[in-house]
Structure 1
């Protein structure tokens, strides 16, 4: 396994500073993942009782067992759930929206980080540390998760997409997709994937995930279980009805203390801005930070006097009505990005949570909200980042002397410099000399023609321009013919760029993992899971 480490600066300044432990960022978080003493401090806080606002562990285990059995998770995951029943058990938790066929590569990397950290700290602490993947099935942005991208053999970024079945703005976990829709998506994937020794097995596994008019969330959960269940990854959908029932008392508190919750978030927001950072989530005095399911839609609530209402004011609830809903039909309620961390803390004994850069930035806004509910923000661990580089692409990078940093920071300049270096005939310079010399000798001759006849002079001027145009025409054609010699090289350089920075984004944010599983099987994935990789906030280049 060959892996290079690279410092790819985060696009979120706060996350970059948090990872680097700058003084401004450190003050916004109670712990840091890089300090061993902070891990022990978190363990001690949990062992001393932590928050009194805590879900019943026995009921949580029952919910996890039922859900993981339903999605067909492995025995290793079931054993981890059983371990979670113990009083000394801790959890490493992280989540993501449920994406088509697993979503982008970063989703796999988040799961790998959970498994790596749980294994590491279970060994260090000599007690169960369970990796839990929280599927944000309650999310309603279907267009964000209904497609995948892959790089085709023709060096085109292809898109496989599923259409919204109803058009209604509701959670993806509540949108069953027809067998025909799944068949079309699988056929499109089949057409996009090259024929390999792994293809039939890959498609068979994916077909198993979409049975019974599965929602995107169910299909995603089954696929993640296939990929990572053997490593003990426990899965749960945030919109699972039995989980919602367990969350009732926390929803009650989020409603009872709603004004104070908003005040706490605004206090943290002020601290973030005073530290010199922009905020990553919009918080206002009227924010309720909860969603409600009404009219077959998931609607964000805000406070309006003594009422909670949606944006269009079509649905209005008193606090008493919301409290009744929380206790009798909690499946009608849903968290937003600010209250999900609190609900996660309520449910699990969270040692650490695995987050992307954007998540690290907006979690800073929740520090005082945790404290308001007698909780403490857990350790925030940055998820592992990878770029997969195939052997042929690696050879081409060496051939053209392109480093990983070259592709990220100066690709066009390096490409042009390489092309310029190949121009041994110096065609442009030689043609420019010819045009200059011709004009210098021919123009004076044309000027003398005026003494004979102005009409002849005009004809000479036209002739001069036509000859120069013909020289430039030949120059252009010669240049095209010369560049044609390098078509193969230009295609190879473009392949390098599309591999590392497709759509001007990191590979892990664009491409789906199926193309790599199809071409290389599971060995690369096993390497990333089974070999210890430090969770340090750095980017890694893995050579396939």
Structure 2
């Protein structure tokens, strides 16, 4: 049951760039194609349809069927894969790292947003098919970012010495994590299911790619989710012309750099999310994923003894396109080259770097997708909802920084006024009179008057803080209660969805968890949603 929502702007957890994007500020409009509204999808559909080759559809479907050969896909997923041969079929995509056991809770939110948007678009444009897609970041090499998940405040971590792309990592060593998970969850029916799910995914599949595919498929196959692994020689064959452009003309570097310069000229002082390199591809082979660096016509593989002449690297690319792995700047282009995609759904950081890329897409004549901020959700139990209501808290209160939150509530419930703003205003008015006298008599006194004003205002600040501190002691029990509920809902003083794993909620709500989220989350909302989970 949805009980409330708060605009992203008011949460304090999203950058000015993202807030301004959601408000469609004029200065940002040249950095994206179309803002995601149901009406705007009409033109996005036409543009993608007119610029996506039929031959790419054939390669895509053949690759997907090969990737799914060892996966038990649902009939809806199979149908969705087959439908991609049709020129009226399009994708809605989200991407995510291969986090252990899905990692943070928002993994679910991202995929559910793709499912719900695809469903809503089918209602709006019934003549078309819309396929929800999860792009696995199999070529990523940041193992430390994905080798753990949090459960009940504990970090369950996979300790392993690794190198290269994470998708190819064998799953040896995850038995210990499975044992820890089992002891942590207990012996309920839902706990047993979660342990079995982990064991089936990670102990019965040889590498992290296959394990993650199994896991995502098990959780979302009823919704027709299609899972894509970009680490595929046939799919990368479609990328070859763009890799050449990057290797020999630095196309992405030039265009993204120009976009950053344009972005930096805006008065808002937005922070840069990613900086391009001259070449934005890695070389990927045998446990190695290292940057390609060009020096005086020779292409070196960073931190290795490997090097190629221009003709050699061209031959390598044409014979082994799978060995060329796009970085964060070029991966979005790869996605849009091989998928008939309309919209990318991501978190704030992802949308921020996508906004740097439109000029590059224009330069290589690939349609730029719509960019949609994923759903963000605060999940609340019935018991927690009752506590919030009993303490007379609002949702907006809970999103405040803790010190501000406590001070606000203490002021609200105190039987004395702890706000000295009227006294400060009155003091400032009195000093304005003193300034006017000094101006008319001896201007050298202005400094003395100013010093006295600052001193007295500081004195009032000190008295106000001291009184507030005294009231906190007096109302200690109330402070403890409101702090406890905020800490429950915002673990580690951060968003719940960035800290907790889905298993913590599945343990209590079981098979109702994902259907409840699917039923209640709106894909085009501009609110951070709050959802009460019922057993």
The aligned residue for residue 392 of structure 1 is 383
1:326 is aligned, of 317, 329, 351, to 317
Question: Aligned partners of 1:520, 1:492: CA distance in 2, in Å?
Answer: 25
| Residue 270 (structure 2) pairs with residue 277 (structure 1) | yes
C-alpha contact (below 8 Å) 2:48/2:367 kept by paired residues = no
Distance 1:492-1:191 versus aligned 2 partners, 3 A rule: farther
1:184 is aligned, of 176, 179, 183, to 176
The aligned residue for residue 199 of structure 2 is 207
TM-superposed CA distance for 1:11, in Å, is: 2.7
Distance 1:176-1:21 versus aligned 2 partners, 3 A rule: same
Deviation sequence 1:96-124 (CA, Å, 0-9, x none): 10110011111111100110111111221
TM-superposed CA distance for 1:195, in Å, is: 4.5
Cα RMSD of the aligned pairs, angstroms, is 2.7
| Residue 222 (structure 2) pairs with residue 220 (structure 1) | no
| Residue 186 (structure 2) pairs with residue 167 (structure 1) | no
Question: Aligned partners of 1:147, 1:311: CA distance in 2, in Å?
Answer: 28
TM-superposed CA distance for 1:532, in Å, is: 6.1
Deviation sequence 1:154-177 (CA, Å, 0-9, x none): xxx21100012x332x11111102
Question: Aligned ranges for residues 342-381 of structure 1 at < 5 Å?
Answer: 342-381=333-372
TM-superposed CA distance for 1:253, in Å, is: 4.4
C-alpha contact (below 8 Å) 1:55/1:346 kept by paired residues = no
**3-state secondary structure, aligned to 1:95:** strand
Shifted more, 390-399 versus 353-362: the winner is 390-399
Distance 1:213-1:518 versus aligned 2 partners, 3 A rule: same
C-alpha contact (below 8 Å) 2:175/2:203 kept by paired residues = no
TM-superposed CA distance for 1:231, in Å, is: 0.2
Shifted more, 7-16 versus 38-47: the winner is 7-16
Question: Aligned ranges for residues 196-345 of structure 1 at < 5 Å?
Answer: 196-245=188-237, 247-256=239-248, 258-275=249-266, 276-284=269-277, 287-294=278-285, 296-312=287-303, 314-345=305-336
C-alpha contact (below 8 Å) 1:268/1:368 kept by paired residues = yes
Provide TM-score, normalisation by structure 1: 0.80
Question: Aligned partners of 1:266, 1:216: CA distance in 2, in Å?
Answer: 34
2:30 is aligned, of 2, 9, 27, to 27
Deviation sequence 1:240-277 (CA, Å, 0-9, x none): 45544554454344435x42332111111111111242
The aligned residue for residue 468 of structure 1 is none
C-alpha contact (below 8 Å) 1:68/1:78 kept by paired residues = no
Question: Aligned partners of 1:341, 1:422: CA distance in 2, in Å?
Answer: 51
**3-state secondary structure, aligned to 1:70:** coil
The aligned residue for residue 96 of structure 2 is 96
Question: Aligned partners of 1:64, 1:269: CA distance in 2, in Å?
Answer: 35
Question: Aligned partners of 1:342, 1:230: CA distance in 2, in Å?
Answer: 29
TM-superposed CA distance for 1:514, in Å, is: 0.8
**3-state secondary structure, aligned to 2:355:** helix
1:500 is aligned, of 489, 495, 502, to 489
Distance 1:301-1:55 versus aligned 2 partners, 3 A rule: farther
C-alpha contact (below 8 Å) 1:99/1:217 kept by paired residues = no
Distance 1:420-1:120 versus aligned 2 partners, 3 A rule: closer
Provide structure 1 residue ranges, at least 5 long, that are not aligned to the other structure. Answer: 152-156, 425-478
TM-superposed CA distance for 1:339, in Å, is: 0.6
TM-superposed CA distance for 1:498, in Å, is: 2.9
Distance 1:334-1:204 versus aligned 2 partners, 3 A rule: same
TM-superposed CA distance for 1:8, in Å, is: 3.0
The aligned residue for residue 40 of structure 1 is 42
The aligned residue for residue 66 of structure 1 is 66
TM-superposed CA distance for 1:65, in Å, is: 1.8
TM-superposed CA distance for 1:309, in Å, is: 2.7
TM-superposed CA distance for 1:61, in Å, is: 0.4
Distance 1:91-1:490 versus aligned 2 partners, 3 A rule: same
Distance 1:419-1:22 versus aligned 2 partners, 3 A rule: closer
Deviation sequence 1:374-409 (CA, Å, 0-9, x none): 112111111111111112222222222232222221
Deviation sequence 1:126-184 (CA, Å, 0-9, x none): 11111111010100000100101123xxxxx21100012x332x111111021xx2221
Distance 1:195-1:543 versus aligned 2 partners, 3 A rule: farther
The aligned residue for residue 440 of structure 2 is none
Question: Aligned ranges for residues 50-89 of structure 1 at < 5 Å?
Answer: 50=51, 56-89=56-89
Question: Aligned partners of 2:379, 2:140: CA distance in 1, in Å?
Answer: 29
TM-superposed CA distance for 1:80, in Å, is: 0.5
| Residue 11 (structure 2) pairs with residue 11 (structure 1) | no
The aligned residue for residue 518 of structure 1 is 507
Provide TM-score, normalisation by structure 2: 0.81
Question: Aligned partners of 1:418, 1:87: CA distance in 2, in Å?
Answer: 57
Question: Aligned partners of 1:279, 1:414: CA distance in 2, in Å?
Answer: 30
**3-state secondary structure, aligned to 2:171:** coil
Deviation sequence 1:56-92 (CA, Å, 0-9, x none): 2112101112223423332211110011111111111
The aligned residue for residue 147 of structure 2 is 146
The aligned residue for residue 433 of structure 1 is none
Count of equivalent residues: 471
Shifted more, 271-280 versus 104-113: the winner is 271-280
Distance 1:494-1:187 versus aligned 2 partners, 3 A rule: farther
**3-state secondary structure, aligned to 1:521:** helix
